[in-house]
Every structure is written in C-alpha cells, then in structure tokens.
Structure 1
C-alpha cells in the first residue's frame, strides 16, 4: 500500500484505465487523486478516514480561524520589530515610497528601481509607508503576517484538493514553521509572502482549468501568475511546476491544450527575468563568484539535502549560514547531488508501488529551489549558498509529503486509532514548532538583536561587521544628541550621552576589527573609516576609505564605491585638501550620477577654488537632485554672481 492508500493491484488497474478512452465518470473525477495518480478508484476506506468530524462549513471556518490565531501568536513578538539589513535600501531610503505619487515610478519607471522590478510588492510597501512612514513598522509586519496566514490556508486548500492526508495539519505546520520566520518577520521579504500567495492561487486556478476547461479559468491562472511575477521573479518556476502537474494529473486528451497554455506563461516569465537581470546590471558589475557548472552541481546537491534536513529539524537556524568550501576536484563532494538524483530515479521507478506523489513532491522541491541553487549567480551568494528565505515556497513539498507519509503509515498500522494518534502527533509537533518560532521572532525585534543572533550562531565577518555598524549608528545618534543646542539637557545628561556614545564606539571598533581579522572586505574598511571620522581622525579615515574602494572587487557594488569615494572626498575637504578631494568626488559622481552630496561638495570646493564655471555646473545638478536643501541655492547664487563678474 502506498501513501495514497491504494494497493499495488489497485494502482495497476488505474494505470491500465488511464490508457483507455475516459468514461464520463472518469472525466468528472480525474482531479480527485493526491498522493498518486487516482481517478475513480479512490477507495472508500481512504475517503472515510479523511471525512471531517465537524460539518464542512464549521470545519473550514474553524480551521481558518485557528490558523490565523496560531500565526498571530507565533509572530506577536516581532510585530513592532524594527528595520534592518536590506530594509534600509528597500524601504527606509527608498525614494519611491516617500513620494506622494510613488505609484507612478513604481509601475511605470523601471529605471527608478535600485534592484528588482517588483511593482506589486513595492505598491504594498508604499501603502505601508503612507500609514507608518519610517517611524512605525506595525503595518508592515501586520500585512506580512496576514498574508502568511492566508498562504497557510491556501496550502491546506491545495493539499485538500489533492486529497493529501493530513492537509489541515500541513497548513498549521506551514503557519508555525521556524524556517518561515525569516520570510515573514523580515519586512523586505514581503516579496516572498506575496509571491507565494499568487503562486498558490495560480496553481489552484490551473487545476480548475485542467478539470473543467473554460477560458476564464485559464485567464485567471495567467492573471495570478503575472501578479506573482510582479511580486518576485522566482515565480518564473511555475510553468515548469504546471508541466509536472500536466504529466501527473491531466487527461491525455487535454495535454495539447494545457501545453499550449503554458507558452504565454513562459514568455511572461522570461520577460520579467530579463528586466530583473538588466536592473541588477545597472547597479553592479555583475556577480561572478568563479563558480563552474560542476561547482553549482555540488552546491545544489548539498543545498537540497540541507533544506530537507532543516525543514524536518528546524532547531539550528541563523541569519547567514556558513559558506561551504567547494572543490570539484574532490569527487566525494558530488555524493549529495548523486544521492538526490538516485532518490528521484527510485521514486520514479517504483511509482506504481508507492504512488506518484513522492516523485512529484521531490521534483517540485527541486524545481522551486532551482533559481537559488547557484546555477544563476546573484548577490546573496557572496554571503552564503543557502538561506531560510529561499525555502518559503519549496517547503510546501516537504511539509505536505511528511504529513502524508505519517498519516498513511498510521492508517496502515493503527487503522482504528489513526485519527486520534495522528492528532496527538500533529498537536505536539505544531506546539514545538510554535515555541521555536516564537523564540526566533524575538531576534527580529531590533537590528541589534538580529545581528547579535547572527554573531552567536555563526560568527562570520558579515555578522560582526553588521553588528559593529549598528553600534556605530547608535554612537553617532548619541553624539548628535549630546551636542544638540536646542535639546533641553543638563550638563550631566549630556555627559551621560557622551559616555554611552563612547561605549558604543568601543563595541563598534571591537566587532568591525574582528570582522576584518576574519576576512578582508570593503564594507568593513568603509565602516572603520566612518568610525575614525567620528573620532575626528580624518587621516586614518582616508586610509580606510581608499582600502574600501580598492577591495570592492572592481566596483562590484557601485553604491559602496560611490559612498566610499564621497567619504574620502569629505575627509580631504575637512583637512582643507581640496586638490585631493576633487578626484574622489568625481569618482563618486561617475559611479552614481544621482548622488546629491558629492555634487554639492564638489560645487563648494570649486567655489572656494574660484572655479566658478565648475561650481555652477555641479551646484545646479545638486539643486536638481535635491531642491529641498535651501543652502544649495545660496551657494549657486554666489557662484553664478562671481561667474557673471568674470564675464
């Protein structure tokens, strides 16, 4: 008996039936199977064992309420969590979100994007920004949690439609699973929860189209797929998943119609992928980590087994996992990839005995992980080859398969007590996962707690550098407060702020220097330069900013080169070294032509050097980039007056 509840003889009968012309009753029930290809031969014991104890309406309403309550319980600790890491770039410093007419550039100006073209994702963030701005994060987290709970319900619905045993508990596990915390509690990963919602809706719409035909059903599936692509490019894997569905469930006479229906999806997917690649190329010089095809095969094999293990035993998560040392010259490193391929072959070969579901689940898992397995190189690979947020959609396969295997095993060995024992096991597992996720959410309360968790679980250079940067920013704010003239503070209070700032700077030095001891990297040099500037040591800062530019891997991250060049120019400016500041500022402007600060500072330098034509040029550009800074107009007026006198 397989995990679909069918015996070998029954399954062979079904296989023979699929090769014959379908009867009317078979046409009605083609979509009923779940764990294997099932048509009219679903056994009565299986149907009886999956019959809900409550009336259907009460069961579904109660189930939805329970999933939402569980989800809010899990994510309550991080509901007011702050911004951190990519949140600064994608939300806090995102000009599109700040503009009143931000929806126009979000939808119609791809060049306004710093990275990915995700208009639906940014539209939701734009609405959140209008509600809470950069001061309150409640609306951002609330939307993420609500969508995540909806996704858990959609997981339940999808698996129920597939007749997978334990579908409801699979939805609960998805809602409470610790691996999903990173995707839900991290504001920037709004793209994950949104794209998953559209992904699941598109699959459900396609299943309806496959079963009942109808152009409106197909257009609905196409609409959800397009919305998913507008939320995150990784949804491009959906046509391949639907191809798997066609092989598994579709009627033979509808193969042609459904295969043709995939063509527009593939075209849309390719188009959006090209847009994303173009946008990334505008802000980087490309990502080349020297990985060959064989290296990527090694990474893929290790990653897939790691992901399966972490989904089944999610008790050792970390923001950034250790980066593996890959060597295609060591043959043993290919073993995980070969093992996964062997398991795929075995589940295919024995599909008539164990059901098609195991093969389908493993294929789904591999397909949806495909874009993140390093065959396409992207920025995050510089940190690690694996990440929890890569698992949000693929986790459905392992969660659904695991619950089905447990439920089927219990029905086989404990037919009279299967439901009771299954409920006890499910409640215990959900309770444990809820507790782990609830604790993980405490690390998303603030940027400091997030990076402390990273240092504690994986003390690599990235985590130490980021934590040092947190302390640096806190020190800068404390220093500003202690020096503020309009602040109603006593001398003792100002001294307290200065002492706290000194403590924060000491911690910043400790972690940033430790990160550089572990590995030389450009961002660490940049942050160390900022620390020296904060201490007033401009000469030492100049050395660090020069090293930051040098170690930036040939201008791989343009914003880092631009920022380091600007700070280098500013340090020379503070020392009165105008000739040395000029080339640094020109580099900053050439790297990022939309940067206001380098244009303003270069204009001021030219004004002091009495190069009035250059001063007018760059001050005018600065005024165009930031018309709200009133002093720019004053500088420009002075430069223009002096230029007119020369004429």
Structure 2
C-alpha cells in the first residue's frame, strides 16, 4: 500500500505537468489527422484493416504498424468521452501508474524481497526514458503492451494451487499476449518471456536435454507454439510484406557493409543501455545525423561494445536467479527492436519502456547488496539523491513534450546534425508563418542531407510563396528524385509553380502526373480546375472541381469556385442544385453560403436569399461585402429602407466601398 501511494505521488510529480500540453509529433498524424479516430461516421471494421496511422495495410505507403486496439481506444476517448489531448494524456498517466504498481507485484513475486520490489517500482515510475511513452499520446501502444506483459507474467507466476488457478496461469498469459499483439507488435515477446522465467524458476539445467524436453512438452511448449502462430498471423495481416522505410530513418539497415552493420547495430545496444543508465541525452527522433555508423574495429566506440558484453558475461557468471530474471525482462521484450527484423528507426525511447523493468530490477538487486555494506544513513542518502535527480530530470524532460516547439528545439541540444530535427523545426515554423526561421532550418536540413526529399519539396513551396518561382521549380523538380509516398504532392506543387509562370500545358502535365500517382487526390483536382479556369476551358474546370468535391466534399473553396463559375455562366438552375449539395456538407461555410445567396437572388427567390445572406452576416458580421450584397438584394426587391440600412452597415466597416456608397447615394437622391 505504501509503495502504491509513493508510486502515485511520483507519477503525478514527474508527469502531471504534461497534462496541460497539446498533441505533439506523432500524435498529430496518429490522432488529429487520422480519420479512423476523428471522423464521426466510419465502419469500425476499417480500424482492423488499417495501420496505426489510418492507412490501409495493403497500401505501399503503410508502415505495417498494426495496433487496432490502441486506435480503438483513441476513437472511444475522442468520440464518446469527448477527450482531447489533456484527457488522453491523463489516461496515459493513469496506465503508467497501474504499470508501476504491477511492476511492484511482479518483482515481489520473483524476488520475494519487498525492498527490492519497492525500489524497482519506484525506479520504473520515475525513469526519464519513459517520458516519450507517457507524455506522447501515441505512447499508449507501449503502455498497453506493458500492461498485458505484466498481467501475463504475474498470472504465470502467481496462480498455483487449485485446478482453476493453474488453468488461469495458462489461459491469462495467452489471452494477454493475443490482446497485447493488437496493441503493439512487440507483444509477440510476452509468451517467450513467460517461458524463460518458468525455466529459470524451475532451475532447468540447460545441459540436461531430458529436463528441457520435460518442461517443453507441456505448457511452455504450447506457449512457444502459440507464439509462432501469432507471428504467422501478424505477418499474414500485412500480407507477408515488409514496410518501406527511408534509409535516413535507419541507415544501418540500408548499409551494404556487413562489418559496418554488425558494429553499428551492437553500438546501438550500448547506446540504449547508456540511455537507461544515464538518461541525460534524450531526443524525440534519433534518425540520420544522431548516431554515426561504426565502420571499423578501430573506432573508439568499439570499446563500449566490448565493455557491454563483458558486463553481460559477468552477470551470467553470477548464476543468480534474480539476475537472470532481470536480464530476461530486459533483453527479450527488446528483441523486435534489436535489428533481427528491419525497423524504421535507429533508436526509439518508448521501445525501452518494458525492458526498463528488467533494468530497474537489476539496479535494485545491486542496491540491495550495497545496502548490506554501507551505513544505513549513507545508503539512504544515496538512494534519495538518485531518486531526486531522476525526478528532476523527468520533470524537465516531460516539460519539453508539452508543445512541439519546445520538443523540436530540445532535439538540437542532443542531435544538432540530425536533418529530421531541423526539418521538423522548419515545418512548425512555416505553419506558424515564421518563414525566416523555416528557410534557415530547411536549408540546414538539406545541407546535412542533400537527398532529403520532403525538405526539398517544402522549401520549394516556401520559395513559391515568396514569389521566387525559378528557385521553387528547381527545388521541387529535384525533390521528385528522392520522394516516394509524397511524390504526387511534389508533382502538384510543381504544377502550381508552372501555372503561376503561365506555362499552362506543362502545369496540366504535372497535375495529370500527380493524379496518376494518386487517383483520389482531391486537392490536385481543385488546382487543376483553377488552371482550366485561367485557360478559359470552363467545362473542364467544372468537371475538375466536381471530381474534387466528389472525393472530398469538405472543400469550401472548390465548392465556391464551382458555384461561382456556374453562376457566371448563367447556369443558375444547375448551380442551385449543386449549392444545395454543398450546404449539406458545409452548412456553416461562409464562402459557399454567400455564392448560394447570390444565386437565389438572381433567381428572384428573395426570401430564401435574404435568409441565406442573414446567415452569412451572422457568421461574419464584419465583412462589408456581405452587407453590400444584402443591400443589393433589398434594392432589387424594392425594400429600400432595408437596402439603405445594409449599405450604411457596409460603409461603417469600409468607408470607401464604391458599390455601397454609389447605391446608397442613388437611393437617398430618389427619396429626397
């Protein structure tokens, strides 16, 4: 009870401040922009055929991260509980508290020592490496995997005695493993961890083959068999296809030199271990530029690799069951990220969430031995000092996860040569209209990694907005050589630049290329319609905009342009029909309602037009044009007093409005 209370207080102390933070980094893609979560009307089965980012698993653009239960949790919180970032972060924090409490129960069962269990749970609670998993909402996948992991292992250890309890010790780990696999792929390690712990607990002599056969012929054998079945199921879900990752995300996987691969991958193990021992350098993204490849045995970092394996060898030589438990919990859950299979990252701090249980256990064992050799006051002071340092570091690190700006800027302190850090800073600066900062960091990202396709494309767009069309075209053209999933966007952006240069036929070709790469590219159809409008190919413009809104009905400018062109072409009846459709999807969109009101007025449906104008005015009472057109409607309708009032309202907003001023003067002369 005391440990649980301490864990609760420490959880709040370390991570409570992040509750006031916003969605950051991957949260934006996985939640805010994920239609599986935000769209009201969806077929829930879509969640079970889409990846974590809302992309169909069979798509070449999918990262194959299949976590439907995590996505379903997000959807329930977003749609039914009306939770947003604060509420979702609170759920993360609560799950971390539960995991810390379960860690205490697990270690107490494994070691039989309450002090070791308490210290392990406290270390796990306050470790700074957990900041990403707890403070970033998408860390929910790792938190839930951890919950399933702990339930499985605890039930495997605890339930002994009655037939029913023994039955639960088999069934609960299997059910937890299956559920965990739907939260995160790394849950495939749950049952192997259970088997490993069971082997160590029963003191199986690994040299005694009959003994191994005896233990594997029953529950443990079936658990390994079920693990193999779950692995096949997981691969079947993604159609036995590997995800496509950028070389810059994991340069080790992209290296063709086997010595470089071997040394660099082993150095990553050292770096992961160092982050657990000394979590001072933490970064939201460890991609290209953070960790240089180790290409020779004469690299100084090889000493770290040798030292790591010497420590491991020494720990194994201790022949201590508790140490073996700690090593198993540290190593086995880490295996999916160890390079056995190709992953799309170099280091991901959230991957260490579950392995840190084993690490904390090993540290607690060491501290228990130290306690017996030191004066209790010295030992207590040392333990308290370490905990205070970790709490301080976790609070400081968690504050960086409150906003994207703070998070991205903190990455420069750890990885100043990471092109992705500069790219993310530039992207955020651009969205905040800070183009000077955006230019600086996009250029730095490209300087560090000249083949950075997204950075080249976004920088090209910035130059386009700055009217430097030649530079924009050059950058966009270059980006096409280094883009995969975003190539269609680059072609569209190139088309926009060419259209602004009045090179209409080249622009049309670029738009067509973009659409050929992405058939449901609504924004590109919209821009193509704008191009045809400039070329005075009105029927093609109408068709393009209709195609655009058919794909994505919530595009106000596409609807407005379509209605305005139909209105100008005096196709009022057709415009009226389409306007009704537009309002069905965008009932409060001013640009659409305004054109709709104009059309109704031209058809002499004055009352309907008046109602529509009044709605537009209520949505934006400071727009002089809305008041002016309402005045024109009343003028034509013969309601001159209302027309005078509307013109005067327009002139209060904009004194030099020629239409309102001239029309008002005509009416006043008429009645004076």
Alignment TM class, shorter chain as reference: 0.7 to 0.9
Do the aligned partners of 2:197 and 2:328 also contact (CA within 8 Å) in 1? Answer: no
Q: Does 2:115 correspond to 1:168?
A: no
Structure-2 residue corresponding to 1:392: 353
More deviation, 392-401/563-572: 563-572
Change (3 A) 1:211 1:466: farther
Shift of 1:92: 1.5
Over 3 Å counting, the alpha-carbon distance change for 1:336 and 1:606 in structure 2 is: same
Q: Across the two proteins, how many residue pairs are aligned to each other?
A: 539
8 A Cα contact 1:236 1:270, kept in partner: no
Q: Any idea what the Cα deviations from partners look like across 1:339-375, whole Å, max 9, x if unmatched?
A: 5455544444441xxx133344334423222222233
- TM alignment of 1:41-120, pairs within 5 A: 60=1, 62-102=2-42, 104-110=44-50, 112-113=54-55, 114-115=62-63, 116-120=65-69
What residue is the counterpart of 2:180 in the other structure? 228
State whether structure 2 residue 239 is matched by structure 1 residue 289.
no
Q: Residue 302 of structure 1: which of 259, 264, 267 is its match?
A: 267
Residue 542 of structure 1: aligned partner: 473
Q: Deviations over 1:387-444 (max 9, x none)?
A: 3222111111111111112113323x35xx65x6654433322221111111112211
Greater RCO (CA < 8 Å, at least 6 residues apart): 1
CA change 1:83–1:279 in 2 (3 A) is farther
Maintained 8 Å contact 1:605/1:615: yes
For 1:525 and 1:194, how far apart are their aligned partners in 2? 38
**CA–CA distance in 2 between the matches of 1:124 and 1:444?**
21
Distance 1:462 1:319 in 2: 10
Tell me the secondary structure at the aligned position of residue 230 of structure 1: helix
Q: Could you say which residue in structure 1 is the equivalent of 2:88?
A: 140
Distance in 1 (alpha carbons) for counterparts of 2:363 and 2:307 = 19
User: What does the per-residue CA deviation read over 1:272-323, in whole Å, with 9 as the maximum and x for residues that have no partner?
Assistant: 2453586874898998613555544323322222222222222232333412
Q: Name the TM-score, length of structure 2 as normaliser.
A: 0.72
Change (3 A) 1:243 1:361: same
Q: Which runs of 5+ in 2 are unaligned?
A: 56-61, 204-210, 571-672
* 1:326 equivalent in alignment to 2:294: yes
* Contact 1:298-1:333 within 8 A present in 2 as well: no
Rounded to whole Å, the distance in 2 between the matches of 1:446 and 1:119 is: 27
CA contact (8 A) 1:121 1:231 kept: yes
Q: Report the counterpart of residue 463 of structure 1 in structure 2.
A: 421
Give the deviation of 1:146 after TM superposition.
Answer: 1.0
Cα 1:296–1:436 change in 2 (3 A) is: same
Structure 1 residue 570: Cα displacement: 2.2
Matched, 1:512 2:442: yes
Structure 1 SS opposite 2:217: helix
Match of 2:78 in 1: 129
SS in 1 for 2:232: helix
Work out whether 1:179 is the aligned partner of 2:129: yes
Q: CA RMSD in A?
A: 3.5
Return the offset for 1:169: 1.7
What does residue 379 of structure 1 align with? 344
Mapped partners of 1:85, 1:317: distance in 2: 15
Please tell me whether the aligned partners of residues 176 and 434 of structure 1 are also in contact (alpha carbons under 8 angstroms).
Answer: yes
| Residues 162 and 363 of structure 1, relative CA distance in 2, 3 Å threshold | closer
Encode CA deviations 1:51-99: one digit per residue, 9 max, x unaligned. Answer: xxxxxxxxx2x32232122111111222122223222211111111112
**2: CA distance, partners of 1:335 / 1:387:** 23
What TM-score comes out, normalization by structure 1 length?
Answer: 0.75
Change in Cα spacing, 1:440 to 1:346, as seen in structure 2 (3 Å) is closer
Specify the SS of the correspondent of 1:455.
Answer: helix
Give, in angstroms, the shift of residue 159 of structure 1.
0.4
Cα distance in 2, alignment partners of residues 588 and 623 from structure 1: 17
Match of 2:195 in 1: 243
Query: SS where residue 331 of structure 2 aligns?
Result: helix
Moved more, 217-226 or 623-632: 623-632
- Output one character per residue of 1:236-292: Cα deviation in whole Å (capped at 9) or x when no partner: 122322231232124866542221133223311332245358687489899861355
Q: Provide the rounded CA distance (Å) in 1 between the counterparts of 2:223 and 2:487.
A: 46
